Amino acid sequence: MTKVGFLGPDGTFSSEAARLYKGSRPFELVEYDTIFDVMNAVVTGKAEQGVVPLENSVEGSVTTTLDVFLQDNPLQMIQEIDIPIEHCLLVKPGTRLNDISDVISHMQALAQCRQFLRNRLPSANTVPARSTADAARRVASVAPEMFDGKSHVCAAIANKLAAKMYGLDVLMTGIQDIDNNVTRFVVIGQEQLPPSGHDRTSIVFAAHRDQPGSLYESLGEFAKRSINLSKIESRPSKKVLGDYLFFVDLDGHSSEARITEALEAVQKRSSFFKVIGSYPKHL
């Protein structure tokens, strides 16, 4: 049976994406503690596939995911899944808004709900958790000694799935500061899939630092072949100050002739180059 890893515990947005990907297929979903653990499980063969967050429309790219793709490994993106993010305020049954003294969640979720916390719970402490589901689990089983021996009334920012799984009430829904909040997840494996007819290719490369205009010329290889670029993002190489890598998403599959030609041309102009997947676009 195909094992598919995801960032746990069950009830995270990652698990929601993994469940959506699984559908009715006989996959075994396996939870891991960190994004790195999910990706490493696929590298080492402990899991055939994994589901990891790639970027959020509010907070931007997930750097851990990008950094692992830069390593010398066979990981490939094989599918993308967009999940609308609706953050909810979860509490133990009977808890009122005015009772809450602490709000627990993943740092990204807390950041995405800053205005709500400032306006509706200005006196509440924010407590970071490993994931949104971990926050819900902690609220469901919270003990006073977890917070310096003081009596605290805790709430979690998580999704409705976590509320159902951990027996919590949904006190408020849609508390994120921006309504159009979407996280893009990718399914990873070790083998590239054949074209589906509606594909995207992701690459990462480093232009030569000692050649003026090298980035312009690299991107021009796509323009001259009428290849649309849907994303361009720079990241420090972590080697030398001012040295950057460029993550690029482009329309089409790497096996298409014009895409192959463009990628070969860019590779020749690069000091580092890697195709990290050709996969069906999210529909």
- Let me know if residue 21 belongs to a domain: yes
Is residue 12 part of the annotated active site? The answer reads no
In this structure, which long-range contacts are made by residues 99-102, counting pairs with CB atoms below 8 Å and at least 24 apart in sequence? Answer: 99/153, 100/124, 100/153, 100/154, 100/155, 101/125, 101/152, 101/153, 101/154, 102/126, 102/127, 102/147, 102/152, 102/153, 102/154, 102/155
What pLDDT does 215 receive? 87
Q: Among 61-70, 114-123, 134-143, 260-269, which stretch is predicted with the lowest mean pLDDT?
A: 134-143
Indicate which residue of 95, 132, 183, 201 is catalytic: 183
Residue % of the chain over a pLDDT of 70 = 95
Are 115 and 48 members of one domain? Answer: no
Instruction: Provide the mean pLDDT of the chain.
Output: 91
The residue from 135, 156, 189 where one domain ends is 189
The CATH number linked to 233 is 3.30.70.260
For the segment 205-234, what is each residue's pLDDT rounded down to a tens digit? 998 766 778 889 999 999 999 999 999 999
What pLDDT does 60 receive? 86
The CATH number linked to 155 is 3.40.190.10
Distance CA 159, CA 281 (A): 25
Which domain range does residue 123 map to? 88-172
pLDDT band at residue 150, thresholds of 50, 70 and 90? low
Coil vs helix vs strand at 97: helix
- Let me know if residue 46 belongs to a domain: yes
| Spatial CA neighbour of 111 closest among 174, 192, 176 | 176
Indicate which residue of 185, 205, 222, 247 is catalytic: 185
What pLDDT does 114 receive? 94
Can you give the three-state secondary structure of 122-162, one letter per residue?
CCCEEEECCCHHHHHHHHHCCCHHHHCCCCCCEEEEECHHH
Is the predicted pLDDT of residue 185 greater than 60, yes or no?
yes
pLDDT band at residue 151, thresholds of 50, 70 and 90? low
Are 207 and 243 members of one domain? Answer: yes
DSSP state letters, 19-76: HHHHTTS-PEEEEESSHHHHHHHHHHTSSSEEEEEEEETTTEE-HHHHHHHHSSS--E
Is the predicted pLDDT of residue 283 greater than 90, yes or no?
no
Residue % of the chain over a pLDDT of 90 = 74
Is residue 185 part of the annotated active site? The answer reads yes
Question: What's the pTM?
Answer: 0.85
Distance CA 145, CA 148 (A): 6
Q: Count of domains in the chain? A: 3
Are 31 and 94 members of one domain? Answer: no
- Give me the mean pLDDT over the 35-56 stretch: 95
What pLDDT does 97 receive? 95
- On whether the CB atoms of residues 43 and 172 are closer than 8 A, the answer is no
Is the predicted pLDDT of residue 26 greater than 80, yes or no?
yes
Is the predicted pLDDT of residue 242 greater than 80, yes or no?
no
For the segment 188-197, what is each residue's pLDDT rounded down to a tens digit? 999 988 999 9
- Give me the mean pLDDT over the 8-13 stretch: 86
Are 73 and 55 members of one domain? Answer: yes
